[in-house]
Amino acid sequence: MQEHPYVLVTGGAGYIGSHVVLALRQAGWPVVVVDDLSTGKRRLVPDDVRFIEGDIADRALIDAALVRYQPVAVMHFAGSIVVPESVSDPLRYYANNTAASLSLIAACVAAGVDRFIFSSTAAVYGEPARSPVSETDPTVPINPYGSSKLCTEWVLRDTAAATPLEYVALRYFNVAGADPEGRSGQSMEKATHLIKVACQAALGLRKGMEVFGDDYPTADGTCVRDYIHVSDLAEAHVRALDYLVAGGKSIVLNCGYGHGFSVREVLETVRAVAEGRLEWRIGPRRAGDPPALVSANTRIRETLGWQPRFDDLRFIVETAMDWEQRLIEKAL
């Protein structure tokens, strides 16, 4: 007999979801993944994990999975994550991130699955008036990606007030790096995120790269972000699950280290890891980039007892670089 009940993970074949699946398995939880493989990769899901290929908006499919596996909780990662794409195709973002989540939450309520862990984002803060930004600061998203995630936070808040459902919404800052054992990593073909782009440029997969603006009101003029290693983020999810299973009440938590690095500092670190093989040029600002986005993290540390293990920019970059090399060598 298995020790624990199942955890159902949507988007478990994606970048963050697959790392959370590894962390859940490590903690002894049986896992069932639902993923439509639109961006996820089947090979990122370990063999001992049940896999259902399908769309989370497919209510019949989700109802059947909830009846069959009776999960103790649902962890919801499936969604669309590219900010500029959300500006050009907002309906897709509201469909994938808001409407599909609403359908999933409704299915949970109907099935009596009353613990829900949601992938939210620092994008809900927009351009925060202060840094570090805390969970009680105003949420003023400046793109449909952030708005579509904030809508789902509201659905959860109001559903939790009216039903037995309790939730944890985790607002991720800049997630980066890869599993230190090389089992998973960021595999999106057209990545836009700084550390992945820089690793690809250092490995000659791109013709150089651009810094989007060096005239920001920061110490070196480039934007500051709070980069969090994906395995630390995964551990936060396991702790959020333990918290809800122990009877914890609904809560919103920032996920970041509480300090930031500038784009220039990140690129210098990538160049050091790549033994000098990285060039960049300074380009214009990218629309919608706040100068600094750093997480206040007292709440997650106190509520979940979460302690980061990989709060080290060089280690984050090394694991990201290792993963890029693996992708090349194995032609993944």
- Find the catalytic residue in 145, 172, 243, 257: 145
Considering only 25, 41, 286, 326, the residue that binds ligand UFG (CB under 6 A) is: 286
Stretch that binds ligand UFG, among 19-27, 46-54, 91-99, 189-197 (CB under 6 A): 189-197
How many Cβ atoms are within 10 Å of 301's Cβ, its own excluded?
13
Q: d(Cα 166, Cα 106) in Å, to the nearest integer?
A: 13
- Binding map of ligand UFG across residues 24-53, x = CB under 6 A, - = no contact: ------------------------------
Output 210 or 215, the one with its CB closest to ligand UFG: 210
**Binding of residue 320 to ligand UFG (CB under 6 A):** no
Q: Is 170 in the site for ligand UFG (CB under 6 A)?
A: no
191 CB burial (10 A radius; 0-12, 13-18, 19+): middle
Min CB(114)–ligand UFG separation in Å: 28
Pick the stretch among 21-29, 34-42, 100-108, 286-294 that binds ligand UFG (CB under 6 A): 286-294
**Could you say whether residue 199 binds ligand UFG (CB under 6 A)?**
no
Q: How far is the CB of 23 from ligand UFG (least distance, A)?
A: 20
Cα–Cα dist 114/20, whole Å: 20
Of 62, 293, 296, 304, the one binding ligand UFG by CB under 6 A: 293
Write out the residues near ligand UFG by the rule CB under 6 A.
81, 83, 121-123, 145, 174, 192-194, 197, 209-212, 223, 225, 263, 286, 289, 293
